[in-house]
Structure 1
Amino acid sequence: MEAGMRVRTIFLVLIALFLSACGGGGGSPGAPGPAMPNPPAASTGSLAIVAGGLPAGVNASVRVTGPNNYQQDLGGTQTLSGLAPGSYSVAAAPVTSGSVTYTPSPATQSAVVTAGSTATVTVSYGGGAPAGVALSEVASNLDGPTWLTAPTGDTRLFVVERPGRVRIVQNGNVLAAPFLDISGRVFTGGEGGLLSLAFDPDHARNGYFYLYYTDPQQHIVIERFTAGANPNLADPTSSLVILRIPHPNYTNHFGGQVAFGPDGYLYLATGDGGGAGDPQGNAQNLNSLLGKLLRVDVRAATAAQPYTIPADNPYRNQAGRRPEIWASGLRNPWRFSFDSGLLYLSDVGQDRREEVNISPVGTAGLNYGWNTMEGTLCFNAATCDRSGLTLPAFEYDHGTNDANGCSITGGFVYRGSALPELAGRYFYSDFCRGWLKSFLAGGGSILEQRDWNVGSIGNVVSLGQDGQGELYLMTSRGSIYKIGRSSTP
């Protein structure tokens, strides 16, 4: 009993000592300890790329670009960390596995990375349709076809013939009566002739269309006509000359295209005046309309004032410079087109390189480099100063004995419905080799190149686009071929 009391007493003493040390029993909690510092604020962020829709074992093709020249190529789903805040571009390219092509959607997109957070971009691959095209002849025995076009939604094909006629192909038949015949005033020597046609954006209401041709004095002429009461016949008396550009001395390098841009203005691409190496120095002369891409407003055209100068043309109201000029430094531009806010402009080279220039539609005053440069090569080595020049986005070398080609035939970005898996690809050909090729541009680079292995169909003079966005090839022997789906990959 006495031992038990001793144990209980010792236990009570220990509890008292513990409470005293802890300040228990309602006493003061004591002074607070030192405050912990706040963690430093995050200065970088992350970007999660989620790629799906591809079979197992097939890698995606994604390029991420951003501030401070950041660039990263990815083959699938991945999170990129430590990124500087800002806007990042995500460009995805189609992927071909075996005979099947998988197309990303969307092909390009952007994401904003903020410090301390993660942005997410999803790329979905789909399609899986056979990656093959074939050519089918839709017309033959035409007289030097140089261009094919149609008003948006129209099922007819309007084919320009070099001697000066515009023919209509309807339901597979070439109509006997030309839509328009101005052959009596067209010069066809050298590279001259009736070279292109553009329908006014408001053609359904006003009936206007514009021709690009060379006259007997070798001038480049842009002339407006109006469709007649019969929709298959134009009114030959409705002529209004918009612009006439002198082109003396040589019978080559007339350029040859007129087209309306998405801004509603009329664009035309002229050659440098001819001769080898631009002997007259027109391409770099801002007081000459030759070797240029011109841009004018024809919406209120009259005989007294056939065009006006858009307010944002780069040389408007500048002494010694022609206000019609939008871009300079061209040798012999042979076809240009617009797509998704971009201008695709092909320029025929001298001896070595063929090129395609790609630039935002609203970028004014670009100098594409001729005759300082031929593509990315120095043409005049003694004065090869690249400063201020815009070099091509794509080019190819002629090769030994022009094995690769000798004269680019520019084309269009495909936006038709027959081959949806090929949307976004720029199709082009070469006059000498007659092949059909394409490339896909995105993120400031060429993401995919393809030779469609259709064989050679002869000298390809031009590509054309119908009212539904389908594409065609025209040959010097008078045939027109439509690009369609191949039954075999």
Structure 2
Amino acid sequence: MTCCLQLCLTEVANGLRNPVLMVHSGDDTHRMFVAEQVGFVWVYLKDGSRLEQPFLDISGEVLTTPWLGDERGFLGLAFHPKYRNSGRFFIYYSILINGKLEKIRISEMKVSAHDMNMADSLSERVLLEIEEPAANHNGGQLLFGLDGYLYIFTGDGGKAGDPFGKFGNSQNRSALLGKVLRIDVDGSSIDGKPYKIPPDNPFLREPDAKPEVYAYGVRNMWRCSVDRGDLLTGYGRGRIFCGDVGQNRYEEVDIIVKGGNYGWRAKEGFECFDMKLCQNTSLDDILPIFAYGHHVGKSVTGGYVYRGCESPNLSGLYIFGDFMSGRLMALKEDKKSGSWKEKNVCMGDTKTCSFPGLINHHHKFIISFAEDEAGELYFLATSYPNAMSPFGTLYKFMDPSRRAPPGKCKYKPLPVKLRGKKVPFIPRECKNILHPKKLFGLICLHCKKYFSML
């Protein structure tokens, strides 16, 4: 029997409609912002409660459908590195123009001047719109690198095999699809664009390339993250990891570098996909750090390198999963060779996860991974991947075999000024019964907590 790293989970939020991401605002409040595919973003506080009013509701603008597995919708959210002072954040979503033309839109918005837990609904400023030729492969990741620039991860345009033009969108540097784009959102350009092009973008002086392009040859990167780096040495800090969803044979994990060509559609994983393109010696593509076949899973969901404090055994592991198979995986780096090896991850057995509040199972469809402000790791999954179905849950990882010493991981969040009501969190995994003394509440036998229903 293969030895595996046994992990347990705690349920953090539930009842979510295809939760596509959870991010923190980096402002020392330790709030968690959870986005649903339909276009809502909710604020969760450190005590586990959710604010009754959404932070953002653009469900009227977002293109979503009740189709199972539809990839369109609200897909990306990133807070500006100086959000505490600027109140600026950025969103990525699907739209429909005049009932027929589909696009993805990247916009800037601001927080309300009157409520730190609500966006200013009138503040949207569109930065970029890209036409989408098909309903799938919409990309959807937004993140800020350590350089302060905004990275935008687009899909290849959809259908299958990137059939657009002679070489496909991904290998075509004059197309914005199938790319990692990098822009400077702290200014505007001479030609009227609401952003600047970083002066060291790699294809700036190529006449046929879009200046926004930072890397290319990607198929449909779903969930990318910036490595915080080792807490003591800083090793790995700033690396960008991505899961790139494959066609019909391989799924891959990549580290993004400036000017990199990630191979698609010439290659899928380590193998040739388009034989003609693949034999082109000038391809010079960057190989994945890891790829796996479709006997393991059919749609990678990129994760994070764990840099938190609570579970020391996980330090330095890149933890990710597969949307279709529901499998959780981990990679460990060999720093001498620079190679990454798979480390088996599994749910702990009933005895291992018997502590109050811990569970050892999760919904099958793993949509996204997340990191809170303290660096602890989470993932979002659902039992039914439909944008309208409220079966999504946010889970937090916990390693039961080795915990940080008591008191080591304490931090003091800045106060959050509340204007609206809070909705208490009630775990669905609990066995709920009426409290014998209080008629208006439930007691969880599993986690030994009382939840008021008032």
TM-score normalized by structure 1? 0.69
2:91 matches 1:224: no
Cα distance between partner residues in 1 of 2:399 and 2:289? 28
Letter in 2 for 1:268: I
Paired residue for 2:260? 366
The alpha carbon displacement at 1:447 in A equals 4.3
Any stretches of 5+ residues in structure 1 without a counterpart? 1-97, 100-130
* CA shift in 2, pair 1:301/1:450, >3 Å: farther
2:141 matches 1:265: no
Any stretches of 5+ residues in structure 2 without a counterpart? 228-236, 348-359, 383-390, 404-454
Cα distance between partner residues in 1 of 2:315 and 2:286? 26
Q: 1:134-213 alignment to 2 at 5 Å? A: 134-152=8-26, 153-170=28-45, 171-189=47-65, 190-213=70-93
Paired residue for 1:313? 201
* CA shift in 2, pair 1:301/1:163, >3 Å: farther
Which structure: greater strand fraction? 1
Letter in 1 for 2:177: L
Paired residue for 1:420? 312
1:234 counterpart SS class: coil
2:331 counterpart SS class: strand
1:187 counterpart SS class: coil
Residue among 439, 445, 461 paired with 2:367? 461
Letter in 1 for 2:29: D
2:377 matches 1:480: no
2:178 matches 1:291: yes
The alpha carbon displacement at 1:420 in A equals 2.3
* CA shift in 2, pair 1:136/1:279, >3 Å: same
Q: Deviations over 1:204-255 (max 9, x none)?
A: 000011111111232111111111121111111111111111112x100000
1:434–1:455 Cα contact (<8 Å) kept: no
Paired residue for 1:69? none
* CA shift in 2, pair 1:488/1:393, >3 Å: closer
Cα distance between partner residues in 2 of 1:222 and 1:335? 16
Letter in 2 for 1:297: D
1:183 counterpart SS class: coil
Paired residue for 1:393? 289
Cα distance between partner residues in 2 of 1:321 and 1:348? 24
2:122 matches 1:237: yes
Letter in 1 for 2:216: S
Cα distance between partner residues in 2 of 1:415 and 1:301? 35
2:245 matches 1:348: yes
Cα distance between partner residues in 1 of 2:56 and 2:192? 25
Q: Deviations over 1:369-395 (max 9, x none)?
A: 000100001111243226411111111
Letter in 2 for 1:327: A
1:132–1:488 Cα contact (<8 Å) kept: no
2:74–2:94 Cα contact (<8 Å) kept: yes
Q: 1:84-123 alignment to 2 at 5 Å? A: none
The alpha carbon displacement at 1:301 in A equals 4.8
Letter in 2 for 1:420: P
Residue among 445, 469, 473 paired with 2:339? 445
1:435–1:455 Cα contact (<8 Å) kept: no
Residue among 254, 274, 281 paired with 1:357? 254
2:211 counterpart SS class: coil
The alpha carbon displacement at 1:257 in A equals 0.5
1:154–1:468 Cα contact (<8 Å) kept: no
Paired residue for 1:63? none
2:78–2:143 Cα contact (<8 Å) kept: yes
1:435–1:457 Cα contact (<8 Å) kept: no
1:184 counterpart SS class: coil
Letter in 2 for 1:232: N
Cα distance between partner residues in 1 of 2:83 and 2:307? 21
Paired residue for 1:133? 7
TM-score normalized by structure 2? 0.74
Paired residue for 1:411? 303
Cα distance between partner residues in 1 of 2:270 and 2:329? 21
Cα distance between partner residues in 2 of 1:301 and 1:188? 31
2:329–2:342 Cα contact (<8 Å) kept: no
Cα distance between partner residues in 2 of 1:429 and 1:396? 11
1:353–1:395 Cα contact (<8 Å) kept: yes
Q: Deviations over 1:271-291 (max 9, x none)?
A: 000001011111111110000
Which structure: greater helix fraction? 1
How many correspondences in the alignment? Answer: 354
Paired residue for 2:213? 325
Greater C-alpha Rg: 1
* CA shift in 2, pair 1:301/1:264, >3 Å: same
1:396 counterpart SS class: strand
Cα distance between partner residues in 1 of 2:35 and 2:199? 32
1:204 counterpart SS class: helix
* CA shift in 2, pair 1:327/1:409, >3 Å: same
* CA shift in 2, pair 1:314/1:253, >3 Å: same
Q: 1:69-88 alignment to 2 at 5 Å? A: none
Residue among 451, 460, 471 paired with 2:377? 471
Letter in 1 for 2:31: R
Point out 4+ residue stretches in structure 1 off by more than 4 angstroms. Answer: 301-304
2:205 counterpart SS class: coil
